[in-house]
Homo-oligomer: A and B are copies of this chain.
Amino acid sequence: MDILKTSSKSNPSSVAGAIVAALKEHNKIEIHAVGAGALNQAVKAIAIARGFIAPMGDDLICSPAFADITIAGEDRTAIKLMVEKRK
C-alpha cells in the first residue's frame, strides 16, 4: 500500500494528482496527516481527486483512523485516511 504524507503547506491539487497516480498502481492508499492544517490539505486533495476521476465514472471513498507515529523522536497522533475507489 502506498503512503502519502501531507503538511499544512501541501498543494491540494498536487496531492490530488499523486492520489490518482498511486491508485493506478494500488487498490488502496493511505494519506498521513499530523495537525489540522495538514489534514485540511489532505481532505481537500481527496475532494479534488474525486473530480479528476469522475469523468471515468469512478469515485473515491475514504475511511479515517488514528495512527501513532514518531516524528523526530516524539510520539504524535496522526490521522490516517485510507483512500480507495468506490466499488
Are A43 and B50 within 8 A (Cβ)?
A: no
Q: Is the interface of A mostly helix, strand, loop or mixed?
A: mixed
Per-residue 0/1 for A6-22: is the Cβ within 8 Å of any B Cβ (1 yes, 0 no)? Answer: 00100000000000000
Are B40 and A64 within 8 A (Cβ)?
A: no
Number of identical protomers: 2
A65–B65 alpha-carbon span in the complex (Å): 19
Interface residues of A, count at CB 8 A: 22
Per-residue 0/1 for A46-69: is the Cβ within 8 Å of any B Cβ (1 yes, 0 no)? Answer: 110010000000011111111000
Interface residues of A (CB under 8 A from B): 8, 35-37, 39-40, 43-44, 46-47, 50, 59-66, 79, 81, 86
